[in-house]
């Protein structure tokens, strides 16, 4: 695939070569920069954009769950799905605040084989996830430029490779950009909620909370929508070694981000409910339609601008997290050694970043609905390996220092892990119960999970004795 610039076709490979040589450029008159670490405020912004990026993508919830079920699922699901995940991430990260995050936790708790599965699944799901955001950028930009759809591929490629260059330069520039973009994402929804309060004089009339009449498939897709808008807490730990005072910083940042996300999502859904907008229109046109309905063109434009910033910020933040995984996997001889190289000037895994950007460049043609199902299914499997690693490390290293420790014993941790497993199972069963197109991405996700065993066997055969089994169970 290629696109044209000044009449000359440029291919993906040529872009990659340009980025590769850019990454190697050195300015003789400029001394090497001192390696800096991410501060707490920047970490808050990066985690916010890794997990959320605003309520963009939450709109289908009102179609699947209806007016009576949307707010109920939005307020209940995070406490059943996210709180166990957040507690698990905080304990494991306080015990092992290292580069590679969840991969390293699973490696120590379950062995090298399961660590590979964790890294492989996360890599696959993140490629799919990353492909969503350049496409979303185009959708929100169409509010200003209706003809931009005709230039979808070159615009998406610009977003992808801008994110790649920024990540190659370093984590601190990513954090700085994330802080600015995060503010731009939040402001429109604060204003929208203010307009909603003003128009209704603060008197909200909420539909009675109920899931009555919602089919199993609709409930499953509603859960997929909520879960997808809350996933990624563990992704933010893969660069813990590049964060200043990581244990305290992650605890503070995670707590702030969870409350912030819940407030923004709730206010956005309330605004949509109070506006009286047709749910199908909301699903098709997104929150800019709510903004236009309540505050005119300028409000719709402001929310669209926030959507564009959200897409760019999400792409940069998630690329930051996933690009660290191939590096640590290559260190363990599970991926080619070429991926473990750090840039001599910026000290970033630039080859891993370029590889990730290349793969995502090929995947931007998928639909949002399919990507959502694949994302949550594959991500959920990796998350449950982290729950198991948490329990195993409590058994194997009960006395090791944990600055943050979940106040539960092992049976309590098992029960805690079963709660999100039930939510995950309902969502998956709902997707499989749908006779339409939803079953295809669900089957693809299952195939992606099973592919890990095939690739593992290939690696064992190729690496032979070079592959370390010291951590394998």
The per-residue pLDDT for 440 is 75
**Residue 252 near residue 262 (C-beta atoms within 8 A):** no
State which residues of the chain have pLDDT below 70: 1-36, 201-204, 365-368, 434-438, 464-473
Asked whether residue 190 is domain-assigned, the answer is yes
Measured CA angle at 220 (ends 47, 452), to 5 deg: 65
The per-residue pLDDT for 283 is 79
Number of domains in the chain: 1
Distance linking the first and last C-alpha atoms of the chain: 43
Report d(CA 220, CA 430) in Å as an integer. Answer: 4
Report d(CA 438, CA 442) in Å as an integer. Answer: 7
Asked whether residue 444 is domain-assigned, the answer is yes
Exposed/middle/buried for residue 3 (C-beta within 10 Å: 0-12, 13-18, 19+)? middle
Asked whether residue 151 is domain-assigned, the answer is yes
SS3 for 53? Answer: coil
The per-residue pLDDT for 7 is 44
pTM reported for the whole predicted model: 0.78
Asked whether residue 14 is domain-assigned, the answer is no
Residues in the chain: 473
Asked whether residue 30 is domain-assigned, the answer is no
Residue 399: give its domain's CATH number: 1.20.1740.10
Per-residue pLDDT tens digits for 347-374: 777 888 888 888 888 777 666 677 777 8
Report d(CA 292, CA 271) in Å as an integer. Answer: 12
Asked whether residue 23 is domain-assigned, the answer is no
The per-residue pLDDT for 201 is 61
Report d(CA 300, CA 222) in Å as an integer. Answer: 25
Per-residue pLDDT tens digits for 128-167: 778 888 888 888 888 888 888 788 888 888 888 888 888 8
Asked whether residue 467 is domain-assigned, the answer is no
Per-residue pLDDT tens digits for 28-52: 333 334 446 778 888 888 888 888 8
Report d(CA 375, CA 379) in Å as an integer. Answer: 6
Exposed/middle/buried for residue 220 (C-beta within 10 Å: 0-12, 13-18, 19+)? buried
| Domain range for 296 | 40-462
The per-residue pLDDT for 92 is 93
Asked whether residue 13 is domain-assigned, the answer is no
Report d(CA 389, CA 279) in Å as an integer. Answer: 41
Structure tokens at 298: 């300028």
Close Cβ partners of 105 (under 8 Å, ≥ 6 residues apart): 92, 95, 96, 386, 389, 390, 393
């Amino acid at each position: 695939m290629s696109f044209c610039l000044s009449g000359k076709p440029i291919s993906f490979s040529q872009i990659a070569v340009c980025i590769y040589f850019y990454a190697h450029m050195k300015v003789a008159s400029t001394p090497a920069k001192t390696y800096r670490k991410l501060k707490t405020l920047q970490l808050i912004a990066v985690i916010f954009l890794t997990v959320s990026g605003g309520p963009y993508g939450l709109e289908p919830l009102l179609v699947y769950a209806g007016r009576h079920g949307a707010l109920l699922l939005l307020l209940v699901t995070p406490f059943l799905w996210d709180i166990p995940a957040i507690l698990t991430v905080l304990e494991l990260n306080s015990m092992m605040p290292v580069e590679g995050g969840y991969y390293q936790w699973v490696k120590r708790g379950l062995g090298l084989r399961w660590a590979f599965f964790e890294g492989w699944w996360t890599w696959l799901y993140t490629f799919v996830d990353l492909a969503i955001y350049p496409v979303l950028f185009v959708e929100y930009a169409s509010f200003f430029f209706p003809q931009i759809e005709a230039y979808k591929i070159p615009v998406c490629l610009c977003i992808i490779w801008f994110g790649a260059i920024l990540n190659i330069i370093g984590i601190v520039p990513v954090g700085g950009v994330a802080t600015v973009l995060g503010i731009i994402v939040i402001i429109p929804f604060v204003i929208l909620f203010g307009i909603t309060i003003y128009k209704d004089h603060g008197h909200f009339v909420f539909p009675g909370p109920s899931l009555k009449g919602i089919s199993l498939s609709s409930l499953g897709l509603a859960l997929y929508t909520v879960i997808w808008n809350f996933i990624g807490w563990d992704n933010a730990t893969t660069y813990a070694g590049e964060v200043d005072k990581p244990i305290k910083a992650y605890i503070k940042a995670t707590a702030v981000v969870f409350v912030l996300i819940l407030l923004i999502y709730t206010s956005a859904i309330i605004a949509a409910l109070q506006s009286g907008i047709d749910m199908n229109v909301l699903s098709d046109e997104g929150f800019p339609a709510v903004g236009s309905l309540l505050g005119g063109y300028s409000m719709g434009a402001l929310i669209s601008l926030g959507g564009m910033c959200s897409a760019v910020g999400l792409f940069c933040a998630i690329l930051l997290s996933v690009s660290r995984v191939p590096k640590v996997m290559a260190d363990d001889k599970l991926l080619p050694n070429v991926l473990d190289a750090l840039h001599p000037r910026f000290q970033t895994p630039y080859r891993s970043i370029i590889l990730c950007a290349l793969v995502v460049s090929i995947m931007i043609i998928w639909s949002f609905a399919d990507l959502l199902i694949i994302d949550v299914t594959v991500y959920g499997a990796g998350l449950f390996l982290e729950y198991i690693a948490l329990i195993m490390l409590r058994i194997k290293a009960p006395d090791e220092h944990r600055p943050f420790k979940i106040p539960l014993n092992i049976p309590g941790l098992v029960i805690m892990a079963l709660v999100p497993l039930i939510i995950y199972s309902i969502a998956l069963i709902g997707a499989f119960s749908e006779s339409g197109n939803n079953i295809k991405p669900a089957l693809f996700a299952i195939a992606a999970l099973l592919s890990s065993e095939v690739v593992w066997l290939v690696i064992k055969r190729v690496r032979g004795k070079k592959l370390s089994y010291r951590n394998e169970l």
